[in-house]
Structure 1
Amino acid sequence: MTAINSVTSTSNALTSSVSALGKDDFLLLLVTQLQNQDPLNPNDPTEFTAQLAQFSTLEQLFAVNSQLQSLESGQANMLQMSALSMIGKQVAVETGQVTLGAADTRLGYYLTGAVDQVELVVRNSHDQIVAVLEGSNLKAGQHFFSWDGTDGNGKPLAAGNYQLELQAWLGGERVSGGAPLVRTTVSGVDLTGLDGQLTTAAGAFSMSALATVSAVSQ
């Protein structure tokens, strides 16, 4: 995604630069300047050469801008085709939000290093903690567990969007290095944006959020 965003920003910058003064406008100004110069005091040849060089640079900017736009369009099409290939596959998504529905939701987390304790905190739309799910695997890597959608008292939570936060401790101190994960199956793709949005029962996610992809459920 970073590469596509970089191409997009570069293309936009060049478009802004060349649209302010097109090459035809630049050439017209140059010809007008030559037509109206004082025959007894002509322009400095060095300055004229520099102006011609600027015109050449402007033409090159137009060519580069056109190539970048073609590259951006091609990469966007490739990304959308890749998103379509995800339909029916199971994905692990790095996300801080999950949509709770009728079916059990499979949550998880990844750790960059071993810890002494790890918890996945679930908050509702009012930022209230409704469940604290303790992880049993404390080693580095991805770990998943089933959640039946109940709160801390075992009562079913209402369907809707919930926030996820990973909290981990090592040696009695809070540590960073990890993130919540949601494992779900892709049911569709929204191609209206630059990068395809994957539609799942647990919410909609961008391709950039994918942590793993598998052909069958695990």
Structure 2
Amino acid sequence: MTGIKGTGQSPLSYIDQLKSMQEKKLQSEQKVTGQQELKQEDFLSLLTKQMSQQDPFKPVGNDQMIAQMASFATVDGISKMNEQFGGLNAAMTSNQALQASSLVGRDVLVPNPTGSKSAEGGVAGMVKLPQSLNNLIVRVENATGELVRSFDLGSKPAGDHRVAWDGKDDRGNMLPAGKYQLKVSGLADGKNSEFDVSTYANVNSVLLGNGDGNVMLNLAGFESPIKLAEVLEVGKA
């Protein structure tokens, strides 16, 4: 280890020395062992060097020595705490994935107005109304944005309300399978406004995510998985 010049000068603090030596130590050790962090023995060796090479007329005071040791203890404690949190996070993620596996085959409500229609089915969702409305209109659009169906839900109070489309057009013909978007609007305070719509989708499988602690769900008709935390409601299987 490179010696520390301290004689005749004010001794550097442990943190300052640690920062100045870290880059050189990492470069040399990474070539030999691949090690990329300083350990407790490195601190003790550094502290011994500092004490042996300090100015005898200006020795390091007890308060400064204690401060350096406390700084190391704090850094070491934070490092161990991070490791423990990492293990706890992994355990919680595994537990969430195990619980989420029970959702496979069930319908979940997600904050997306576009739903996937099967050949003989429709699309169901939920609309959130900030206030009561007298004439709530539902418009259904296909993947190209073409209006294929519209119907009136009538008067609804404020709150969450289920929206269900049977998959047919205005003439009663069953439309082909694919993605369809539900749009809900009505007069609020004299102005025509659109309201947030969520739709139901079937859970195909469960993923552990990308190591970020998030449990992901693969949904039928969705190109990308969504986070388990985004699920608003769990429906029937």
Identify the TM-score tier after normalising by the shorter chain.
0.5 to 0.7
Provide the aligned length of Structure 1 versus Structure 2. 194
Q: Sort the Cα spacing of 1:214 and 1:160 in 2 relative to 1 into closer, same or farther, 3 A.
A: closer
Structure 1 stretches lacking a partner, 5+ long: 1-18
**Amino acid across the alignment from 2:207:** L
Q: Which residue of structure 2 lines up, in the alignment, with residue 212 of structure 1?
A: 233
CA distance in 1 between counterparts of 2:52 and 2:184 reads 71
Preserved contact between residue 105 and residue 146 of structure 1 (Cα < 8 Å): yes
Q: Could you tell me the percent identity over the aligned residues?
A: 21
CA distance in 1 between counterparts of 2:150 and 2:45 reads 70
Quick one: higher RCO (CA 8 Å, sep 6+), 1 or 2? 1
Q: Which residue of structure 2 lines up, in the alignment, with residue 189 of structure 1?
A: 205
**Amino acid across the alignment from 1:208:** A
Alpha-carbon shift at residue 29 of structure 1 (Å): 3.3
Which structure 2 residues correspond to residues 1-218 of structure 1 after superposition, within 5 A?
22-24=38-40, 25-112=42-129, 113-120=131-138, 128=145, 130-131=147-148, 133-136=150-153, 138-139=156-157, 140-148=159-167, 160-161=178-179, 165-174=183-192, 179-186=196-203, 188-193=204-209, 194-201=214-221, 204-216=225-237
Alpha-carbon shift at residue 60 of structure 1 (Å): 1.3
Alpha-carbon shift at residue 80 of structure 1 (Å): 1.0
State the SS of the aligned residue for 1:85.
helix
CA distance in 2 between counterparts of 1:202 and 1:155 reads 25
Alpha-carbon shift at residue 129 of structure 1 (Å): 5.3
When normalised by structure 1's length, the TM-score is: 0.68
CA RMSD of aligned residues (A): 3.5
Q: Sort the Cα spacing of 1:38 and 1:165 in 2 relative to 1 into closer, same or farther, 3 A.
A: farther
**Amino acid across the alignment from 1:88:** G
Preserved contact between residue 149 and residue 156 of structure 1 (Cα < 8 Å): yes
**Amino acid across the alignment from 1:114:** S
Q: Sort the Cα spacing of 1:41 and 1:100 in 2 relative to 1 into closer, same or farther, 3 A.
A: same
CA distance in 1 between counterparts of 2:108 and 2:56 reads 74
